[in-house]
A and B are shown apart, each in its own frame.
Chain A
Amino acid sequence: MWTPTEDEKIGVVVCSFRGSVSLGLTLELGETVHILEKCEGWYRGFSTKKPSIKGIFPAGYVHLKKAVVTNRGQYETVVPLEDPIITEVTSTLQEWSVLWKQLYVKHKVDLFYKLRHVMNELIDLRRQLLSGHLTQDQVREVKRHITVRLDWGNE
């Protein structure tokens, strides 16, 4: 029988799933899912990109991440347990990506390449933070660099 999940709340898709079962959810590599309930090796939940579509997918197709759950139940909110600066960089990169593609289509060459450069730097800095190999001082340095770049982007 299906039971609500306790700790299994957020997952990242490690293998694309074509949803080829009844009520299956189609999932792409790298997507984030919010898990509601589980049964016999399956999860039921939704992609954070398309929250109104609920479906089932194999537990083995997602990698679980620690999460903070509020208002547990049907209308719970779930947030990944991570350094807020990581969350900020991730969402900024996704926003900028939309802008970046527009710059390409409108042939704003200079800005296109500049933005690409800054995005690559942010991706790198974020990776460094997530590596867990940095000392406290290095972490502070990296965060400072990140802030500078986030500020640049917001012009």
Chain B
Amino acid sequence: MLSQDDPKSRPMLELREKLQPEVIELIKQQRLNRMYEGTCFRKISARRRQDKFWYCRLSPNHKVLHYGDIEEFSQGQISPESLQEKVTVADIKAVVTGKDCPHMKEKGALKNKELLELAFSIHHNSDEYLNFIAPDKHEFCIWTDGLNAVLGKEMTSELTKSDMDTLVNMELKLRLLDLENIQIPDVPPPVPKEPSTYDFVYDFSQQHI
């Protein structure tokens, strides 16, 4: 069995680890792009008959979240100018999810398992909260990952794990293309003693390439 067939062999694990930081950067870019496009959220209330909608999007410089109510559900992007409110990213203290959210703790708040899994809140300034209910699990992951990313924190959603796997697995396959049918040593081969001379045959120091 060749080393590259065994994903748990040391060289494979080492290469995976090496590939991760670049992949995390890609995931972060994607999340930020999605937040920049923005999402239409529902304000769910037990009291109202009809749900209201609001839109939230990240500014191009990633420093401000623009948001505001909108008349009806929108698939397309809403321009920041039509969104009245904003939260400055630098004022964000924390992002909380699920039952730690104020809108999930309120008395009379709609609390079913699905909603708890889609709820997140931005704690900003000293005592203000911006409460969200994500339209689906996917958007929940995009936004919580994205917010963690702008705050310089780790992205921890299931979506990040799965995107990581997808991207790293492909990268790994591509890196190993030229090692098809070739034995990879499990432990590093011995390094010979340094050569007794560095007087090389070819001198490239005059190259202008």
Which A residues form the contact surface with B (CB < 8 A)?
A: 1-4, 12, 14-16, 21-23, 28-30, 32, 36-37, 39-42, 44, 52, 54, 56, 58-61, 63, 65, 74, 90, 93-94, 97, 100-101, 104-107, 116, 119-120, 123, 126-127, 130-131
B18 A3 Cβ-Cβ under 8 A:
no
The smallest beta-carbon distance between B191 and chain A, in angstroms, is 5
Of the candidate stretches B91-99, B102-110, B122-130, B166-174, the one touching chain A is B166-174
Which B residues form the contact surface with A (CB < 8 A)?
A: 11, 14-15, 18, 26, 29-30, 33-34, 37, 163, 166-167, 170-171, 173-185, 188-202, 204, 207, 209
Bound Cα distance A119, B177 (Å)? 12
CB closest chain-A residue, reference B166: A116
Q: Which residue of B173, B184, B192, B204 contacts A15 across the interface (Cβ within 8 Å)? A: B184
B179 A105 Cβ-Cβ under 8 A:
no
Bound Cα distance A63, B170 (Å)? 23
Which residues of chain B come closer than 8 Å to A101, judged between CB atoms?
26, 167
Bound Cα distance A21, B194 (Å)? 7
Q: Which residue of B175, B207, B209 contacts A30 across the interface (Cβ within 8 Å)? A: B175
Given contacts A30-B176, A37-B200, A101-B167, contact A14 B192 (CB under 8 A): no
A104 B30 Cβ-Cβ under 8 A:
yes
- Interface of chain A: mostly helix, strand, loop or mixed: mixed
Bound Cα distance A58, B195 (Å)? 10
Bound Cα distance A37, B195 (Å)? 12
The smallest beta-carbon distance between B97 and chain A, in angstroms, is 22
A93 B174 Cβ-Cβ under 8 A:
yes
Q: Which residue of A2, A56, A104 contacts B201 across the interface (Cβ within 8 Å)? A: A2
B209 A123 Cβ-Cβ under 8 A:
no
B170 A100 Cβ-Cβ under 8 A:
yes
Bound Cα distance A4, B203 (Å)? 12
The smallest beta-carbon distance between A86 and chain B, in angstroms, is 9
Bound Cα distance A116, B163 (Å)? 13
The smallest beta-carbon distance between B27 and chain A, in angstroms, is 8
Bound Cα distance A29, B179 (Å)? 9
The smallest beta-carbon distance between B76 and chain A, in angstroms, is 14
A58 B198 Cβ-Cβ under 8 A:
no
B174 A29 Cβ-Cβ under 8 A:
no
CB closest chain-A residue, reference B175: A30
26 A/B residue pairs, CB under 8 Å, sorted by A: A14-B182, A14-B184, A21-B191, A23-B198, A28-B18, A28-B175, A29-B11, A29-B15, A39-B195, A40-B193, A41-B193, A52-B209, A54-B204, A58-B189, A58-B192, A60-B192, A61-B188, A74-B202, A100-B170, A104-B26, A104-B167, A105-B26, A106-B33, A116-B170, A130-B180, A131-B181
A119 B170 Cβ-Cβ under 8 A:
yes
Which residues of chain B come closer than 8 Å to A107, judged between CB atoms?
30, 33-34, 37
A14 B201 Cβ-Cβ under 8 A:
no
Which residues of chain B come closer than 8 Å to A127, judged between CB atoms?
180
Given contacts A22-B194, A30-B177, A94-B174, contact A14 B185 (CB under 8 A): yes
